Chains A and B, each alone.
Chain A
Amino acid sequence: MTGLASAFFAILRRDLMLAFRHRGELANPLLFFLIIVTLYPLGVSPDPELLRRIAPGVIWIAALLAALFSLENLFRSDFDDGSLEQMLLSPQPLPVLVIAKVLAHWLVSGLPMLLLAPLLALLLDMPAKAAWALETTLAIGTPLLSLIGAIGVALTVGLKRGGILLTLLILPLYIPVLIFATNAVTAASAGMPVEGQLYFLAALLVLALTLAPAAVAAALRISMS
């Protein structure tokens, strides 16, 4: 194994190991996701017709918020215990190490959301075709949310009260994902083709994969200085 690959997998393994040593906290973003969705029938109306109509937006907004709140801890403990300093001083390229961290984070927070989504689709009485589109958009969209969000997290990691600020920085950047993902789900439930929206999301993912890691790396160096 080359040095780069072994550094990448060392970070990935370590973060996954840490996540599983805090098993109790793994479920928190999921519960958050579930509770937000539950609030809508209570706050708006339990009318199945209406719920079916707003379901894509409801689930996706809950996903945005859940992704954002779980991301807050992406670099927090590394910052506090000095591991982040050591990562920044590695001779390996920092963007690659950033990808390892984001991937580990997505595996323990984004992937479980994909597994929970069918249940939510059921709760909001979504048709099967729409539920399928929901799964697909979440599969492309949640890594995108992690990558974009990581930039904001890296910029605010040195600040004591970064939470609300992070929301302000990142949510506007999530808007295109929200628009295309919810629209794909709505179109699917009306029986219309959704390839266009999915391609657009995939293009965004490719763009984020190429640009975001470098931006996160630069932001980390700025925050640590």
Chain B
Amino acid sequence: MSDAPLRAINLECIRGDRLLFSGLSLHLSPGQLLQAEGANGAGKTSLLRVLAGLSRPAEGEVHWRGQDIQSNRAAYFSEMVYMGHAPGLKVELSPLENLKVSSALRAGTADEARIEDTLARVGLRGFEDVPARGLSAGQKQRTALCRLLLNPVLLWILDEPFTALDVHGIALVRELLEAHLANGGMALMTSHHALEVRGDCRSLNLS
């Protein structure tokens, strides 16, 4: 437990005038999945944004390998991928062009062939050069999923990864998650879907 790379200590989060949660602590070790549950507005997204280092908690700290993430961003961000509500794609650009930029923003090692392989793996073969404007919401989500695979990292933070996905897409995400956990990866996610993922899964109820 003490060697858990991700630890949150006594988090408190306030949105506008409302106290979302306080005194929240958690830790996550390799091979574990933590699923945040709660009603709409319970603060699931806020919690993930705090854990991803996008926003600051009103109180408390998030530590990665023993260091506060707000003061060691580069170290944390190089081992973490975050998928938010917006897929982070430019609709004028093709999945291939979009992912080239994503990859360059991270380690910058993925070449074109690797991106094409990854796109094929999420079921987008033949859509490599279609401007993202022409993709469905589910296909955009699948494109965003490629970020998890292009530059393998230890921690995935997924906010509603099943949004807009069909049955096959949901199965795909589950498969990816199981493989990630089996490889010693870590994942944090929120989802409305009750999901059976094989592995070390825990849930956190925010309400």
Contact = CB atoms under 8 A, between A and B. Distances in A.
> Within the complex, are A and B direct neighbours (CB within 8 Å)?
yes
Interface of A: 1, 3, 6-7, 9-11, 14, 17-18, 21-22, 77, 80-83, 85-93, 97, 224-225
B108 A21 contact: no
Interface in B47-93: 49, 52-56, 73-75, 77-78, 80-82, 84-93
A82 B88 contact: yes
Contacts of A83: 88-90
Nearest to B86: A82
A216 to B, nearest CB: 16
Contact of A91 (B74, B86, B87, B91): B74
B74 A6 contact: no
Given A82-B85, A89-B82, A91-B77, A10 B90 contact: no
A81 B89 contact: yes
B88 A10 contact: no
The 9 closest A-B pairs by CB, nearest first: A82-B86, A10-B104, A225-B55, A82-B88, A91-B78, A90-B105, A91-B77, A6-B108, A86-B88
A185 B80 CA distance: 52
A89 B52 contact: yes
Contacts of B85: 82
Interface of B: 49, 52-56, 73-75, 77-78, 80-82, 84-93, 97, 100-102, 104-108, 147
Nearest to A85: B84
B84 A17 contact: no
Given A18-B93, A85-B54, A6 B84 contact: no
Contact of A80 (B86, B105, B108): B86
For the complex, would chain B's binding face be called helix, strand, loop or mixed by DSSP majority? loop
Contacts of B80: 89
A22 B133 CA distance: 14
12 contacts: A6-B108, A7-B105, A9-B104, A10-B100, A10-B104, A11-B105, A83-B89, A85-B54, A86-B147, A89-B82, A92-B105, A97-B105
B95 to A, nearest CB: 13
Contacts of A80: 86
Contacts of B97: 14, 17
A86 B84 CA distance: 9
A10 to B, nearest CB: 3
A90 B100 contact: no
A3 B91 CA distance: 25
Given A89-B52, A91-B77, A6 B87 contact: no
A199 B125 CA distance: 56
A65 to B, nearest CB: 27
B54 A89 contact: yes
